[in-house]
Structure 1
Amino acid sequence: MVLWVQVGAWTYHYSDQGDYTWEQARNFCQTFFTDLVAIQNQQEIEYLNKSLPFHGRYYWIGLRKLGGIWTWVGTGKALSKEAENWALGEPNNRRSNQDCVEIYIQRPQQAGKWNDEPCNRKKKALCYRASCQPFLCSQRGECVETIGSYRCECYPGFHGPECTDVVQCAKLEPKGGPMNCSHPYGDFSYNSTCEFGCHEGFERRGAGVLRCLPSQEWSANIPTCTAVACPVLRAPEKGELNCSHLHGDFTFGSTCAFSCQKGFVLKGPESRECTATGIWTGDATRCEAIACPVLSAPDQGEMHCSHLHGNFTYGSMCAFSCQTGFALVGLQSRECTATGTWTGDTPHCEAVTCPVLRAPEKGELNCSHLHGDFTFGSTCAFSCQKGFVLKGPESRECTATGTWTGDATRCEAIACPVLRAPEKGEMHCSHLHGNFTYGSTCAFSCQKGFVLKGLESRECTAMGIWTGDTPHCEAVTCPVLRAPEKGELNCSHLHGDFTFGSTCAFSCQKGFVLKGPENRECTATGTWTGDATRCEAIACPVLSAPDQGEMHCSHLHGNFTYGSMCAFSCQTGFALVGLQSRECTATGIWTGDTPHCEAISCPVLRAPEKGELNCSHLHGDFTFGSTCAFSCQKGFVLKGPESRECTATGTWTGDAPRCEAISCPVLSPPSRGQLSCSHVHGNFTYNSTCIFSCEEGFVRMGAEMLQCEATGNWTRDPPVCAEDGAFLKQVLAYSSSSALAVAGLVLSGGLIALLAKRLSDREEKRKLLKPTSDLGVPGTFTNSAYDANL
């Protein structure tokens, strides 16, 4: 049975007979209705959730994943983000096959929400029958289903409830050209198009076709017609341009006339016009310069021309010059004029003249002439007699400037190299034709301490060389010196190693002192000044072993000298204070201070408590060899060694002794009595005191207090507790005569009656009170209430 819910012209349908897969559900909806429902808004969801009955498997809707995108199958539109209505945590695509969507109708939680499900599961089909028909919305919009009705979503360019109204654009007015329009929906309305053109000689600026858009605006601005432009003309070089323009500069209808400047002639049309095709009539016009006759360079000369407008034309300038050695006669330049003629006459070149030359003294002259005697190009050669040499150029040439090359030539006596006196020597010369020239002779000698090696005299020959080799002076040689052992040698040599004037300075290495001269000099006789020098080790003060110690030394260069090393040690029981070794330095002093041996210290001892200490010290208080004897005060006995000795290891022999209090025998409370003790140094030890007392009805017989003495004995024997009757008998039996006399006095009269009554009262109290155990001294019992009533 098919059930349905109707809302105006749009109805929802569902079936309560059986369940369907998603494909079966859609086939059902498409067969009997329009399609699976396409939910468009929250109002529709609320309506469905309230109107449809609850089914445990819920309802299929027309939303499915196609190509990974959730799509409404009825319209083919993708689900938009703002239209999503997923339940919490959905879609989860569990097992990657949940491509169809159900809606929770009447669900206790998440009612009306969507959930992705496998498409093969069976659920109720939720269908709808569309209210939209093809004829609705004037075929100018899309019919959209709504609950109980529909609405038209107009296509661009249309508006109104049924999309019957058309968007209107502003009316167009052409600017300078024809316009042709088509209006499918009315004049100058949506989709109207207008085509624009221009007259001959004009071209369009802007879009050729304009269309009315849905925005009520035209697709572009109205185009304009502008005159066709020709290329801009320029005045020809050396010419002028005069133009007239009808529609704008250099546009259709413009005309231009041409003319040339002075000295130039026009080649081409005198005027040109801009046509409708954008080109000018005629060919390009130019101005050509007027020509003059061609010129040539003068003989022995050159010509250099500059042409402004063409070879040998108006404005050309030609400059004339002569080759080297020639001078120009006439104008230096000529110019082509506007009439086609040159300024001035043709120039020519003449050779330059130089001064007449003469042969030098002691020499000869030989000349050749190309262009006349002693003119440009003439050359003259010079030579000298034997024994003389030419000074200046061997030949000279007449130059283009009218001067001869080089300086004046002369003949000078041949020169030998200038001689110098040998170093540390002297030279004496005689010259015939000039210093150190042909015929000069020189004699040589040496200074003191030097000897001449070579010729004593030399002569300058016609070849310009000296006879013999150059002599020299050599310094006298002394024997080679060596550095002393443990020393160094530093020499300065004026004239060669270990020669006359050489000086040698001696020095010693660190830790050594020089014996002999510090410097020696090589004399002119080849001997050294002074005696041989040596280096001796620097001595340090002699060291000795420290008291109670030993010293062992090693000597490199002699006893207690530089480099000597002494090691120190101490005898048993002594420790070294200071450096273990000292070294003799280069300054003659020992490193560090003198070490000494100190007796090893033991910890300071103290007398034991209640004891005394008596020590003897050999090397200092409580040091190696010290002995200490121990003793105790009266009433105490020593426990441990009576004496201890400080050893070489800094420890004492034996363990620390102590003084313990002497003990007395342990006391016990008397029968029918109590004992209370105080212990100064320990239970029942020296100076401990014990007080005895008896129970009610008993009398103490003996001393009330005992004290432990230094002998280990108590001052008296312990007392006993006796009954009162026995006490009276004992008093009468053991008291002396004087005691009896006293007792007689004490017991006389009413005193005896009082005593009897007191004894009777004690007996009654003893029966009522039972003593408890004392937590004090063992064997002693006390009771505070009991004692207070006695």
Structure 2
Amino acid sequence: MSWTSLLADEDPPIIVVPPDPVKFAGPLELDVVVDYSEWEDDIIENAIDASPPVVLHLSSINGVAVTGGRTTIFQEGNHVLGYTSTDQAGNENRFSLQLTVKVIRCQALPLPNEGVADPVVGSDDCNVGAVLGSTCKISCDDGFHLSSDKKYFTCMARSAFNTLGEWVGESSQIECFPNQCNLTAVTNGYISGCSGVTVDFDTTCQFICQEGYMDEDGRTRQARRCLEDGSWTERELRCQATQCRGPLALADGMVIPSEVCEYDVYIPFNTSCSFRCISGFLLIGPSYSVCLADGSWSTRNVSSNCEDIQAPHFTSYCPQYIEEIAEEGQRSKVIDFHPPSAVDNSGNVTVTRLRGPEPNTLFSEGHHVTTYKAVDLSGNAALCNINISLTVKRCTVPQAPISGSLVQCDWIYGATCEYQCNSGYELIGSSQRRCETDDNLLAYWDVPPPICEVVKCPALKTNDNVIKSGCVDDVEEGFGTVCSLYCPVGFSSSGSNISRCQSDGTWDVNDFTCQGAYTPSNPLNNDLMQGFLVIGNGFVSVVGRRMDITHPSEL
């Protein structure tokens, strides 16, 4: 016999009690259906005992012993679950958990002045508060009508662990405005006691269905009185066949179960048809409708539709960037590109060019943006930009040479620049330069810039006895040099006494000469004449003395 068999297990199981469970009721519910295994499996697995396995038994709920089957439905509030754990040796350990059931509720629905709220989904009073999932319709008191047809608000959860919900509706700005009364014809019926398009206030009219028709409440006639606010007492009489007509359809959605709701012409009483929208669409209106016993649908005054809320999606990458370089000698270029394509959840999308140049057209130098717009039938839109840049390669801006100029000059890639010198100057170097590009598409001039050098005239050759001023013997003179010519005293001159260096490198005239000695006929002696130069046929003093004699005839 082993020592183990001699030692009896007298210790109860050690239970690791998990955190108290908290459950939130679902939409329009005040209770929850619990799954005990969510915590019981962990308790058994984590139990510590010498005689496993441990058996767990729910012995009481809120102090009331559990006999027979245990309930799985718990109302809002705290519930104490009493447990007994027993090992194989019969040792017991008692412990408890507190199950908390919470219900998410919204406070009273905020109403406009003269407004009231009525439940559409759920039965709570919207003016006091409502549980999660309740939908309320806002309407106005007598004498007023709503400023918008978006009047439904649903109680939604704020977060996963907050019991205070919030109202979510189609519009946050609803007001009640005063009304007026139109007389509307009865489909499949007639009006008695009234005629025309409108009736006066306080007039009572009989709205009557034709034989074989009734409204959704089973009525065949209805007396209605025109109120001062332009509305009618009682609900409008809608005469229709006493059956639930089908099939039901939901554009961009489905009606479930589809094999009944979407195909049968007559749909059985108490059938519930649920409305679901496909991806990218939002359901507007009730999420289901029930066929009532009188042959009408529970949503007889309300319609549901799927509103497209998803914008189209461009299948190509957006934005796109296209960079081009102008061809040789060009400042523009024809650039082609593919317009982007788009898809949409509705299956119908139109892509148009909103602005900017078209593909395969001439683009000027610079940056251009062509914008495409994709729009679906609901007006949801997306934009795609095509960025096109055209670069014109350029050499450095050429400078005119000193004493020269540029003619027919451009400095874009492939262009040429012509150089010329001013009159009297000679071009040294190439008269034409061309803008080229290297392997790295960097622009450069093919030759260095030329320079302009002044044209030289050879040294002016003169006859004997001629005196030169402004030019030097045996030295070339530059264009524009003026050489003045003189004769010594006692010589007579002929020809032009001024010679200029021309732009072609020649002197404009060279016919000045000095002939023989000159002796005046007057008694002036030769000493008096010394110190004077003869210019033409006159005398000029060169020693500071001045004579009033300007011509030999005056001597």
Q: Tell me the TM-score normalised to structure 2 length.
A: 0.31
Greater helix proportion: 1
Q: Which has the larger Rg? A: 1
- How does the TM-score come out when normalised to structure 1? 0.24
Which structure has the higher relative contact order (CA within 8 Å, separation 6+)?
2
